[in-house]
Amino acid sequence: MDPCFETAAGLGRAIRNGRLSSVEATEAHLERIARINGPLNALVVVDRAGAMRAARAADRARASKSAKLGPLHGVPITIKEAFDVAGLATTSSHPPLKDNIARSDASLVARLRAAGAVILGKTNVPELCADFQTDSPIFGTTRNAWDARRTAGGSTGGGAVAVAARMSPLELGSDIGGSVRNPAHYNGIFSLKPTEWRVPSRGHVPDLPGKTRTTRYMGVFGPLARSVQDLETALRVIAGPDGYEAEAPPVPLGPVPRLTPADLRIAVLESSPLVQVSADTAAVVQATARLLAKAGARVKRASPKDLDWRQNWDDWIDLFQYQNRALEPLAERQPFFGADGGSDPSARSMVRTARLDLGEFFAVLDRRDLAMRQCEQFLDDYDAWLMPVMPDAAFIRQKQSEPLRIDGVDHPYFFAGCSYNYLANLTGQPSIVLPCGFSRDGLPIGLQITGKRWGEARLLGVARVLEKLLPPCPVPPAYKS
């Protein structure tokens, strides 16, 4: 077996059963990283010495036969650079943090280590995780695994490329506007955005080290992988409060139900009212809906009845900006007072939120509660809501100031790029991305399924059904060996 082409669960079984050592699995991944990472620039910190120490310790623990082996025992993985890993740099690609060395592990990193994971290194992000291209002012640009000219996605772009190119079977990422979902879509892999507050945030940047924690809404943390089983395994390791954050409740994950297609009721959204998807994306949505229906699922085009998509988008971006700008000095906000935001919805949000009006902040939270109720009630009648992740397959890298072009139509960059992912962040509902098809240019297109809050177990059950109907997780042509 080639360890680099196994899933995390497959590697874990092989290591626990003695068919493969952690040292062998770790060395294989490190050798592959050394061979192919250069032009991709997915991993920006490689901890070869630390990884090999951990792998040797994992093998000793297995040989002792008295140690309790965790679900990821001896499995090499990667971590998004924005998470603290003790002894390694955590910059979140923010130049003022270029010399910041983490003193301890983030809560989720510590849990992954306790489950037996071997950390290979850290993967690239855009500055402060604020883009769906991964272009770091510290580490440079990460390139898409399928086409080096195109975006890798972001902000977990480096991690998605590492998993797609078989340099890592599992990545830990973060998501406040699609950051574990769009990179999975762009690179042909799986990802899971859990329910808001399902997993703790301690040790993730932003927030900036030593500063007041302001990111208290919508930001979530989850895995990227090459199978639904790996998503479930990772979620069970990282889920649950850590005692540092008042918001995180101890809600049990519960067992994943064994479902058949005939058990499923699936709502389908082909295109949102905000940004029309490409013809390629629409074709993949249609084909996936037909696949489910042919297998016996009850499939219906449907959306929440009175959902105000544009207001919800404005509320999502405003809530993001309120948190992002909470500590911003008055002198930096004052030029926006009374300014004209123009036609770009993101620019208008910068104007609306500049005064940090507490009454407006709570009005956003009220409207957020309404959107949450509407989407939860809608999913009373469905097991999952199937929709695009992004309006199109990976685009050729460009400046943020340039419009995003979808089938010849220009749209404001951030508005278009977040036009499908923002809603599940606003409502706090879980979403899973699966690779479902390809564009005419041979680029992967993923779709996401969204479920009810705290309903990850059933959503994983739905994803298992869909995964069995789809072809195996694809390998980028340049990295098949």
pLDDT of residue 1: 85
Determine which one of 80, 122, 193, 452 is catalytic: 80
- The domains located in the chain, with CATH, are 3-262+454-479 (3.90.1300.10)
Higher model confidence: residue 467 or residue 66? 467
> CB burial class (10 A; 0-12, 13-18, 19+) of residue 302?
middle
Instruction: Tell me which DSSP letter residue 343 carries.
Output: T
Mean pLDDT of 57-63: 96
Q: Which H or E element spans position 446?
A: strand 444-450
What's the CA gap between 417 and 415, in Å, rounded? 6
Query: Average pLDDT of the chain?
Result: 97
Mean pLDDT of 182-189: 98
The answer to whether 134 and 141 have CB atoms below 8 angstroms apart is yes
Please say if the pLDDT value at position 65 is more than 90. no
> Within 13 Å and on the Cβ side, how many CA atoms surround 216?
11
Mark residue 477 as left, alpha or beta (left: phi above 0; alpha: psi -120 to 50; beta: remaining): alpha
Q: Is the Cα dihedral 298, 304, 310, 314 positive or negative?
A: negative
Q: Which H or E element spans position 224?
A: strand 220-225
Please say if the pLDDT value at position 392 is more than 90. yes
The answer to whether 367 and 315 have CB atoms below 8 angstroms apart is yes
What's the CA gap between 243 and 13, in Å, rounded? 31
The answer to whether 228 and 463 have CB atoms below 8 angstroms apart is yes
Radius of gyration of the chain (CA): 21
pLDDT in tens, 152-175: 999 999 999 999 999 999 999 999
If pLDDT is split at 50, 70 and 90, which confidence band does 36 have?
very high
pLDDT of residue 312: 98
What's the CA gap between 253 and 131, in Å, rounded? 31
Question: Would you mind telling me the total number of residues written for the chain in this entry?
Answer: 481
Instruction: Tell me which DSSP letter residue 95 carries.
Output: G
pLDDT of residue 437: 98
Determine which one of 22, 93, 155, 191 is catalytic: 155
pLDDT of residue 350: 97
**How far are the Cα atoms of 280, 301, 378, 445 from residue 441, in angstroms, in the given order?**
9, 27, 35, 11
Q: State both tokens at 174.
A: 């973060």
Mean pLDDT of 225-234: 98
Mean pLDDT of 267-289: 98
Q: State both tokens at 463.
A: 């994803």
E strands, 241-315, in order: 265-268, 298-301
If pLDDT is split at 50, 70 and 90, which confidence band does 209 have?
very high
Query: SS3 of 406, please?
Result: strand
179 carries an active-site annotation: yes
Q: What does the DSSP assignment read for 6-39?
A: S-HHHHHHHHHTTSS-HHHHHHHHHHHHHHHHHH
Mean pLDDT of 15-19: 96
**Bridge partners for 410 per DSSP:** 405
If pLDDT is split at 50, 70 and 90, which confidence band does 356 have?
very high
Please say if the pLDDT value at position 66 is more than 90. no
Mean pLDDT of 223-239: 98
Please say if the pLDDT value at position 330 is more than 90. yes
Q: How far is CA 300 from the centre of its chain?
A: 27
Non-local CB neighbours of 148 within 8 Å, separated by 6+ positions: 39, 40
What's the CA gap between 158 and 126, in Å, rounded? 9
80 carries an active-site annotation: yes
Query: What predicted TM-score, i.e. pTM, was given to this entire model?
Result: 0.98
Place of tokens 């050798």: 31
Please say if the pLDDT value at position 178 is more than 90. yes
Q: State both tokens at 288.
A: 């996936």
Determine which one of 22, 93, 107, 179 is catalytic: 179
Residue 60 — φ and ψ, nearest 5°? Answer: -65, -40
